[in-house]
Amino acid sequence: MPVVGMAGGGQLARMTQQAAIALGVPLRVLAASPGDSAARVVADVRVGDDRSLDDLRAFAKGCDVVTFDHEHVPGPHIRDLEKSGVSCHPGSAALAHAQDKLVMRERLTGIGVPCPAYAHLPPSGPIPALEGFAREHGTPLVLKATRGGYDGKGVWVIDDLGARARELVGRLLAEGVDLMVERHVPFRRELAAVVARSAYGQGAAYPVVETVQQGGICVEVIAPAPGLSRDLAAEAQRLALAVADELGVVGLLAVELFETPPSGDGPGGLLVNELAMRPHNSGHWTIEGARTSQFEQHLRAVLDLPLGSTEPTAPYTVMANVLGGDDPDVYRRYIHVMAHDPGVKVHFYGKDVRPGRKIGHVTALGGDLAEVRERARHAADYLRWGTGTGDGR
């Protein structure tokens, strides 16, 4: 059996282990500490720094494929591994587009993929660039760190170009953060298209989902996106498969999208927001809700095995993220959640509980969307607050 190495010991590696167990594929994880989410459930854990070339080289030795739990392994290190003959999937060339938002925007717009208007902010003269962009696209604007952001970190909405905005830009540049600005898109809702592409070039697309964000963190995913027109759903899948192909992604690609409202002179449409090249929060619903989970699909893609069926197992699947509350004893709250709803599936990542931190998710399935959403929300709220209504907030 080939050995798959995953750099990063978070919950994505943890859930990949469940799929690796089924396939009989040994999973090796490079974790920062033995207490990492995935390190707690994998036999072959290497503790090290996934930003250190030496640690990556030692980790890759004996792996047939190296893949990633996150985007933070430095591109030059991945290129170095590739030069020394390690199969990295996705490869450094593809992964650059998930690591740097400016590289991604330039490439996507270059191949005709619709994106929000954007501009780089040169550290030498950021304010004139910002002012020029605001004149063309209006305010509010979205300021983004080109690298290193996640879960709403590295993204700031700027209402106007007043003193606070100027101070923020100055401070970030002084800290060495590379910045870009984007139009604040008046979207109807956010969608995600998760696709897989194997080394051989086979593609597979999951149903397009709606993602609901609060404070920059995804709190709920509805599969499929309710009321999405067949045309837009097909267009989102086509876009995602085309991006995977153009960028040569091997593994999973999650394309986060804005669905824009119909305007006076045309129908609604799609704009690409972000890319991720790994199992993605918007695909957790597939563990129970699709014939092949995104984690198994990622393994099949990076191992160059034929991809699995993405067929849904229920009319609707809703995933709700569980965030940490004030009381860290989540397990104590299992009893209510499981007794209340024997069909809800609980996933806990084995992480220390901190308020607001993603510590797990729940999944509900069924034919009545309102009911399925309510079931998922109740379970997630209860696991966080010890009450299913959010009153505990």
- Does 300 bind its own copies (CB under 8 A)? Our answer is yes
Smallest distance, its own copies to C-beta of residue 326, A: 18
How far does CA 12 lie from the centroid of its chain? 10
Determine whether the annotation assigns residue 273 to a binding site. yes
The reply, when asked if residue 351 is annotated as ligand binding, is no
183 among annotated binding-site residues = yes
Q: Which is nearer to its own copies, 43 or 163 (CB)?
A: 43
- Asked whether position 180 contacts its own copies by CB under 8 A, the answer is no
CA distance 284 to 11: 11
Site for its own copies in 23-62 (CB under 8 A): 23-24, 26, 39-43, 45
- Residue 233's SS3 state is helix
Judged by CB under 8 A, does residue 360 bind its own copies?
Answer: yes
Q: Interface residues for its own copies in 235-294 (CB under 8 A)? A: 287-288, 291-292
Contact 285, 6 (CB under 8 A): no
* Contact window for its own copies (CB under 8 A) among 90-98, 155-163, 180-188, 336-344: 336-344
Compare residues 11 and 146 and give the one whose CB is closer to its own copies. 11
Asked if residue 309 binds its own copies (CB under 8 A), the reply is yes
Q: Does 349 bind its own copies (CB under 8 A)?
A: yes
* Gap between the Cα atoms of 358 and 153, Å rounded: 14
Residue 81 or 196: which CB sits closer to its own copies? 196
Helix (H) or strand (E) holding 6: strand 4-7
Q: Which residues contact 283 (CB under 8 A, 6 or more apart)?
A: 192, 194, 206, 209, 252, 254, 294
Q: Is residue 350 near its own copies by the rule CB under 8 A?
A: yes
Enter the tokens of residue 154: 């590295």
Judging by DSSP bridges, how do beta strands 189-197 and 316-323 pair with one another?
A: unpaired
Residue 338 near its own copies by CB under 8 A: yes
Cα-only R_g, the chain: 21
Strand 209-214 vs strand 251-260: parallel, antiparallel, or unpaired?
A: unpaired
Token pair belonging to 50 = 């996934």
Stretch binding its own copies (CB under 8 A), from 130-138, 228-236, 264-272, 327-335: 327-335
| 179 bridge partner residues | 121, 145
Q: Please enumerate in sequence order all residues whose Cβ is within 8 A of that of 270, keeping only pairs 6 or more positions apart, or say none.
A: 114, 191, 232, 235, 236, 239, 257, 258, 259, 260
* Binding of its own copies by 161 (CB under 8 A): no
- Please enumerate, by residue number, every residue annotated as part of a binding site: 101, 144, 182-185, 190, 273-274
- Please enumerate, by residue number, every residue annotated as part of a binding site for ATP: 101, 144, 182-185, 190, 273-274
State the residues that interact with its own copies by CB under 8 A: 1-2, 14-15, 17-18, 20-24, 26, 39-43, 45, 204, 287-288, 291-292, 300, 305-309, 311, 313-314, 330-331, 334-335, 338-339, 342-343, 345-350, 360, 365
